Structure 1
Amino acid sequence: MPESNSWYPRNTILCFSILCNALSAGGVFLFPLFAPELIFRLKLTQPQLTAIVWAGMAGQYPFSSIVGKAIDKYGSRICSLAAALAFSVAFGLSAWEIKSASDSLSLSNDASARRLTLYFAFLGLGTVLSYFSFVFAASKTFPAYISIASGTTMALFGLSPLFLSSLASTFFTNSDSSLDIVSFLVFMTIFAGVSHLLGAVALDVPSTPSSEDHMRSSPAEDSEDVTDETTGLLQRQRCQNEPQNGSVLDLLRHLSFWILCLYLIMTLGTCEMVFSNVGTIVLSLPSRVSYLSMTTDSPGSAQVKILSISNTLSRLLVGPLADFLSPAVAFVPVDGVNTLRRHWISRVAFLSFAATALAATCSWMLFGVQTQQDIWVLSIGTGLVYGCIFTVLPSITCSIWGMPNLARNFGIITYSPFVGTTVYSYLYVIARSSSPENICYDRTCWELTFWICFATSLGSLALSLILWKSWKGML
């Protein structure tokens, strides 16, 4: 009874800590807000801006498998503590760098650009540490509702840029509607640091039994629970075809793993390129004056909010829909909860939908966009695709490659967006490098990029259909 009474306050504090971590972790996605001020104050060029934002976006991925392994072994608290340190260093030193810049600067300072690149790499590292800490804290604290737990926390993370950009536009905007970037970065140093220090104390999750423990416990009882012969056949098929809780080499040995990674490179790489550069994309287009008089948001701030809303709504809608249409089968049973429900469609269908939506979004940029206000289609489309893929990816990873090493395997798979972000971000730079100006004022600066993205999104659709066939009866 005492343990039952302590469960509610402990988990209330844990949920509050998860909320704080998730809402404070999206600072890396605010670069479209920072870019105009970095151009104005530091006179940075487009290649320098791309290098900085690439460091922030790609910095999330190099250590993701290590962070996942740490989560599996040590839990979420240590990762939250490390995230507090990384965020404090990144935001604090960035504020100091910008404040120290001379007002009479006429040319870009390469040293400042290199230091900001390093600081944003720390910001990316803090993001992945935070993300893994709260997602897997929620999943392991509420194992009977793992899809709702992980989906909700991912949605909160998707809401973070909207929340933070709203704070920026409300409390840190100058009289000329420009961002008071130094004050805002100082605020982020305190907010993210304190939130994750709380997580280092509160994210104390119960240990989860391994797959071997479940196999040793009541095998006869388990066999009685599963009476459907079709389900048994599917389980045997999965055992024969996939590694199931194997080593990293087992994971890398399977062709389906590499097909999935290539799909993620093409789709998530395109999305993160848009996230990083939507501020300069929108500035390349003319604006309708009548619209500007109706809003106080800068074009970049408006697009960040739209991206955040679409990303969040996508995660909130896709999670329950995926659980209903194609329930994920975890290898480890959860407290008697029957995860073997009727499947209406393969979960890979959501990957196919995301690829199709991305192709449609790129085609809009090629044939439909005319003014800054038309960019909302790009923001909604990429936010929808990004949220959809990341919502179903953990359950696909769990169902195909097992629960005990879920965080490790998920971390390895997320190397794919790291590659994709690098490739597509520099593709954007190369495609617009003909302009000597810091900001390119012509749609031809990004038109070639979106032609390539349109072609690769169609390629990712073909890859998803291959996976659908390969994993038939397994998802």
Structure 2
Amino acid sequence: MSRSQSFALCSIALNAYAAHILSHDPTTTTNAEHRLCAGGIFTFPLLSPAMAAHVKLSQPQLTTIALAGMMSQYTVAALVGKVVDTHGPSLCSLIAAFLFAFGFGAFSFEIYNTPPDIATPSSASFHRLTFFFFLAGLGTVFSYFSSLFAASKAFPRHLGLASGVSMALFGLSPLFLSVVASNYFTDPDTKTLDVPYFMLFLAILTTTVYLLGAVNLRIIIPDSDSARERLSSSDVEEDIRETTALLPKPTPASDPTVADLLRNQDFWLLMAFCILTLGASEMIICNIGTIVHSLPPGSDGPRPESINVEASTNHQVRLLSLASTISRIIIGPLADFVSPITSSPTIDEQTTSKKHRISRMAFLTGAAVVLAITFFWMVTQVTSREAIWTLSVGTGFGYSTIFTVLPSIISSMWGTKNLGRNFGLLMYAPFTGNPIFSYMYAFVSDAHSHGYGICEGRDCWQLTFWVSFGALIVSYLTSLVLWHRWKCSL
């Protein structure tokens, strides 16, 4: 890595906490700002208590709106990948700008025009809010692909490190936005979030950033052919050696067709694991706000997070974001160190494999164990808002660990030629699991609520967590089966 690239990479991290930085590489600023603004839909837990009180939405309706933003990302991932491969990150940035502008802007307008004294929720308003959040979710996936592709172009010989930092910044986005929400859009007396103005802020911020990105990325991110022409012959040879050393050794299962994957038992076992673990985790991410609301504050003295529901929710969103970010920063390099991908021999026989200490499946098994313990602790020990921090930290750590390790496992088992396609197929796991667990939570909660608004009490979610705990035990056993079957490959 050159000195200028090292400086640029450090600048990406610094820009996670600042709106401006002093960098000699404009690619860095653009990419970091993209990642910093990309997590707007993940602030929904901050919105849900205020929306339940103001718009009188039920828990199933709140869950539906949250799922519209979360699930829309998975439905078009393959299409967005094709767009960024064909036309580059600038077009994706432009599309994201328009989707965020209309999605967040119309969402803000809809809440603003809802009378404060309505007695029953409006069905038409609920459907419009769901559609607007769906558009914001589409904007999120376009922004994600735009930023990730820009990072890989900016650091062509350090794709893993660039992608890891980019993903970590994505995890920090909800933290940054939650700080903004609490400091600038929350009433200091009532501690209530002003949803219309916060969503309007998101609309203006994201539209501005991604419109600028559409221009900047077109100028500063060259296409693959022109970039390679500027590399010297020695650089090209070095790239080939570095890339070859990271490729897994070809196996009979490498580069299968879609039909081959669908006939592969291991693929379906991994799919089942992801449905259970990622589905249960995203249920928490979507509903942490109402979980906080269901419990009373602690009795061990006043603290900021125990005084108000919105403040407690904000605190949990920050913890989720921090746990997710720290997990991505630590687990990726750790997996590379203790479980390097098997190297294939090069022509000059100068490449040697690093010591393989443990299978990468250990990280998936560990994530399932962490999530199971977290859910068991929640259902047996948690009785106040302050104690929910264990749920936020455990969920953020387990969820991000799975996403961090999954691409390398897929490439090791089925090759790198169609890695994006194979990863996209597995993304139907959270697409399936999220609504299963989320609607289970929603209907159990709704069955224990009284009238409109958010359910209160442990009964609102206790059954959901017991079922989820059982599902995570099944996922743990599934990971052990895969670990045994893949012990010679990973």
Q: Find the partner of 1:299 among 309, 312, 317.
A: 312
Q: CA RMSD in A?
A: 3.0
| Match 1:261 to one of 267, 271, 286 | 271
Structure 1 residues 31-40 or 195-204, which shifts more? 195-204
2:15 maps to: none
Q: Is the 8 A contact 1:355 1:458 kept in 2?
A: yes
Matched, 1:62 2:75: yes
Q: Kindly indicate whether the alpha-carbon contact (under 8 Å) linking 1:24 and 1:192 is maintained by their aligned counterparts in 2.
A: yes
Q: Which amino acid counterpart does residue 78 of structure 2 have in structure 1? A: S
TM-superposed CA distance for 1:72, in Å, is 3.3
Q: What percentage of aligned pairs have identical amino acids?
A: 43
Q: Work out whether 1:78 is the aligned partner of 2:91.
A: yes
Name the CA distance, whole Å, in 1 between partners of 2:26 and 2:105.
Answer: 27
Quote the offset at 1:395 in angstroms.
Answer: 2.1
Question: In 1, Cα distance between the equivalents of 2:146 and 2:327?
Answer: 22
Query: Quick one: distance in 2 between partners of 1:205 and 1:404?
Result: 23
Q: Displacement, 1:171?
A: 1.1
**Structure-2 separation of matches of 1:474 and 1:338:** 19
Indicate the residue corresponding to 1:465 in structure 2: 480
For 1:274-293, what per-residue CA distance to the aligned partner results, in whole angstroms no more than 9, with x for missing partners?
Answer: 01111111111111255544
Letter of the structure 2 residue corresponding to residue 466 of structure 1 = V
Compute the displacement of 1:74 (Å): 3.2
User: Which deviates further from its counterpart, 60-69 or 41-50?
Assistant: 60-69
Q: What residue ranges of structure 2 are gaps of 5+ in the alignment? A: 9-21, 229-235
Distance apart, 1:307 and its partner CA: 0.6
Amino acid in structure 1 at the alignment position of 2:484: K
Distance 1:340 1:79, change over 3 A: farther
Deviation per CA, 1:288-347: give whole Å up to 9, x if none. Answer: 2555444576111111011111111111111111111112358899xx995842221111
* Cα gap change, 1:397 to 1:132, in 2 (>3 Å): farther
Which TM-score applies when normalising by structure 1?
Answer: 0.87
Supply the distance in 1 between the matched residues of 2:102 and 2:482 (Cα, whole angstroms). Answer: 41
1:357 aligned partner, one-letter code: V
Partners of 2:70 and 2:156 in 1: CA distance: 30
Give the Cα–Cα distance (whole angstroms) in 1 for the partners of residues 139 and 471 of structure 2.
30
Q: Which amino acid aligns with 1:192?
A: T
Deviations 1:244-303 (A, max 9, x none): 2x4433433322222211111101111110011111111111112555444576111111
Deviates more, 1:323-332 or 1:358-367: 323-332
1:188 aligns with 2:198: no
Structure 1 residue 39 displacement after superposition: 1.4
Structure 1 stretch displaced more, 168-177 or 88-97: 168-177
Contact 2:32 2:166 survives alignment (8 Å):
yes
Q: Is residue 283–residue 441 contact of structure 1 (8 Å, CA) maintained in 2?
A: yes
Distance 1:291 1:120, change over 3 A: farther
Aligned to 1:379: 392
- Of residues 143, 159, 183, the one that matches 2:172 is 159
Q: Deviations over 1:323-372 (max 9, x none)?
A: 11112358899xx9958422211111110100000110011012111111
Establish whether residue 202 from structure 1 lines up as the match of residue 213 from structure 2: no
Question: Structure 1 pair 471/71, CA: closer, same or farther in 2 (3 Å)?
Answer: farther
**Structure 2 residue aligned with 1:214:** none
> Cα offset for 1:391?
1.0
Partner residue in 2 for 1:452: 467
Q: Distance in 1 between matches of 2:325 and 2:362?
A: 20
**1:408 matched residue in structure 2:** 421
- How much does 1:122 deviate? 1.1
- 3-state SS of the aligned residue for 2:261? helix
Answer whether contact 2:345 2:351 (CA < 8 A) is retained. Answer: no
Contact 1:358 1:385 (C-alpha < 8 Å) held by counterparts? yes
Describe how 1:180-259 pairs up with structure 2 within 5 A: 180-203=194-217, 204=221, 206-207=223-224, 235=249, 238-240=250-252, 242-244=253-255, 246-259=256-269
Give the corresponding residue for 1:50: 63
Deviations 1:140-190 (A, max 9, x none): 542432222111111111111000000111111113211111111111111
1:42–1:108 contact (8 Å) kept in structure 2 = yes
Instruction: Write the distance in 2 (CA, Å) between the matches of 1:355 and 1:79.
Output: 34
Residue 169 of structure 1 aligns to which amino acid in structure 2? S
The one of the two structures with greater contact order (alpha-carbon pairs below 8 A, sep at least 6) is: 1
Per mean C-alpha deviation after superposition, the further-off stretch among 65-74 and 259-268 is 65-74
User: C-alpha separation between the residues in 1 aligned to 2:27 and 2:360?
Assistant: 30
Inter-CA distance 340–313: structure 2 relative to 1 (3 Å threshold): same
Match of 1:359 among 348, 368, 372: 372
| Equivalence for 2:135 | 122
**Cα–Cα, structure 1 residues 280 and 145, in superposed 2: closer, same or farther, change >3 Å?**
same
Residues in 1 aligned to 2:261 and 2:29: alpha-carbon distance in whole angstroms = 35
Structure 1 residues 76-115: aligned runs within 5 Å: 76-115=89-128
2:295 partner amino acid: L
Q: Which moved more, 1:288-297 or 1:357-366?
A: 288-297
Q: Counterpart in 1 of 2:291?
A: 281
Give the conservation status (yes or no) of the 8 Å contact 2:108–2:195. yes
Quickly say closer, same or farther: Cα 1:140–1:248, change in 2 above 3 A. farther
Matched, 1:179 2:193: yes
Which residue in 2 is equivalent to 1:350?
363
Contact 1:87 1:126 in 2 (8 A): yes
- Name the amino acid aligned to 1:207: S
The whole-number CA distance in structure 1 between the counterparts of 2:152 and 2:358 is 24
The answer (yes or no) to whether the contact 1:51–1:117 under 8 Å persists in 2 is yes
Q: SS of the counterpart of 2:313?
A: helix
Separation in structure 2 between the aligned mates of residue 30 and residue 93 of structure 1, nearest angstrom: 17
Q: Measured at CA, do residues 137 and 398 of structure 1 come closer, stay the same or move farther in structure 2, by a change above 3 Å?
A: farther
Helix, strand or coil for the counterpart of 1:342? Answer: coil
* In structure 1, C-alpha distance between the alignment counterparts of 2:323 and 2:122, rounded to whole Å: 36
Residues 363, 337 of structure 1: CA spacing in aligned structure 2 closer, same or farther, 3 A cutoff?
farther
Paired with 1:115 and 1:94, the residues of 2 have a C-alpha distance of 8
How has the CA–CA distance of structure 1 residues 377 and 474 changed in structure 2, closer, same or farther, with 3 Å as cutoff?
A: same
Distance 1:98 1:292, change over 3 A: farther
State which drifts further: 387-396 or 250-259.
250-259
Alpha-carbon shift at residue 95 of structure 1 (Å): 0.4
CA distance in 1, matches of 2:434, 2:345: 33
Structure-1 residue corresponding to 2:19 = none
